[in-house]
Amino acid sequence: MATSKGIKSVKRFGSRYGRTVRHKFGKIEAQQRRAYKCPYCNKKAVKRIAIGIWQCKKCNVKFTDQAYTTTKKKEGY
């Protein structure tokens, strides 16, 4: 029997919705729930509050960015 690797948070769906859909959803969910680096204080303490709204737990600043991830600011443009 094959082991199910990397689908920790989607076990709640059981055998519903198909393997591919669950696998893609698991990747997105893991990406959105991890801590990111704050663009203001450079600490790894940014968490997602809602779609596109992020908050740093260290300096308590709220800012908007992409829906599931935060991006680095590109300089020189």
Which structural domains are found in the chain, ordered by start? 35-68 (2.20.25.30)
Q: In this model, does residue 74 exceed pLDDT 60?
A: no
- Rounded distance between C-alpha atoms, residue 44 and residue 39, angstroms: 10
Q: pTM of the full predicted structure?
A: 0.71
Q: What are 5-63's pLDDT values in tens digits?
A: 656 788 899 989 999 999 999 998 888 888 899 989 999 999 999 998 999 999 999 99
Q: Which among 71, 36, 72, 68 is positioned nearest to 55, based on CA atoms?
A: 36
**What pLDDT does 21 receive?**
93
Concatenated DSSP letters of 18-76: -HHHHHHHHHHHHHHHS-EE-TTT--EEEEEEETTEEEETTT--EEE--SS---PPPP-
